[in-house]
Amino acid sequence: MRNGGGGCHETHLWKRRVGRAVSHAADTRWRPGLAYTAVFLGVCGHASSEFFAVLSGVAGPEVSVWRYLLGAAGLLAVALARRDTRDLMAPLREDGGYLVVLSLGGVSVPYLAFHWALDYASVVQVGTLVTTMPIFVGLTNLVLYRMPIGIPKLLSGICAVAGVALLLTDGYLARLAGTDSSLLGLGLALICAATGSAYAVLVRPLINRHGAIRITTISMSIGALGLWVIVGLAWGLWVNPLTLFDKPPVATWSLLTLALWNTTITQVLWFGGLAAVPDITRGSYLFFLKPVIAAGLALSFLGQPVTWVQVGAIVVVCSSVLVELAWPWLTRRRQDAQRPG
């Protein structure tokens, strides 16, 4: 009984330490403005991933393996090039078991689901559901660490989701209604959003302790190996990275872009930024800008027209994000105005 009670006490203390770590800024070397900028650039990388995945012409499960095998190789190169991040064994010695479980559940599963979903559902459908990740981040924080969502986050989240729905359903109502085959894709996209959000919250204490580059490199590498084994066993597709340049040029360069920009660079910016922002839920709300960025890319590079409904949705989404980020400043201004004299 005494041993069991001690174990519960240690577990309780561990949860309290993790909760305190999550509730404070992750890395004091990062200023909040720099951290939010990193998150925003990470969103820019996420915003183009569906495009390059579809452009490659490779089936979803296989794309996920190519993306993370090559992306993990890029992350390893970045980590080994820096003196302060070369020691990748220390995090494995201290938190190896937890890192393996977290990487398989938070990298292999969501990104297999994400790319597989694109085989059944449209980019619009998948993008709509994946953009709900900040809602799952808030819910995960609420369940694990008792962090209240609060009225500002709740209202801005509802507003942003409404804006995203307005933006993506303009002219696509029939497509979003879906077919029987698209239901599987929508379910896979929802799995991606839920598991990816849980990973973003759970990995933060490890990033606090060991640094964004080292943890992201290790988790992406383990997740890539997990994807290679899962796709090989389930689909009989054992990806050989040495055959990359045997593919058509468009497929080759799309896969390289997915690996280096959408994975190597984007993941460091996204997870490193989220770990460093003072409020991870507020930082993750920048993800609501993903469809807005995608619409801008379509207008700039594809010449696709933007309707007034889409413009209205962009205003709603951007306003909800800006209000959420500026809420502490607005609160202070209101309190200062109410003070006498």
pLDDT tens-digit map of 86-137:
999 999 999 999 999 999 999 999 999 988 988 887 766 677 677 777 777 8
Walking along the chain (341 residues) 10 residues at a time, the average pLDDT comes out as 42 43 41 85 84 82 92 91 91 94 94 88 71 77 76 70 65 51 78 90 90 90 95 93 92 92 86 80 76 68 61 70 70 74 56
Classify the C-alpha dihedral 16-19-25-28 as positive or negative: positive
Q: Is residue 35 in some structural domain?
A: yes
Can you give the pLDDT at residue 248?
92
pLDDT of residue 274: 81
The answer to whether residue 20 is domain-embedded is no
pLDDT of residue 181: 65
Whole-number pLDDT of residue 76 = 93
Assigned domain for 6 exists: no
On whether residue 24 sits in a domain, the answer given is: no
Specify the pTM: 0.71
> Does a structural domain hold residue 18?
no
Query: Which residues, including other chains, have CB under 8 Å from residue 335's CB and lie 6 or more apart?
Result: none
pLDDT of residue 267: 78
Dihedral in degrees, nearest 10, Cα atoms 205, 210, 211, 216? -80
| Full residue range of the structural domain in which residue 332 is found | 30-338
89 domain residue, yes or no: yes
- Tell me how many domains the chain contains: 1
In a domain, 99, yes or no: yes
What integer pLDDT is reported at residue 135 of this predicted model? 74
Q: Is residue 22 part of a domain?
A: no
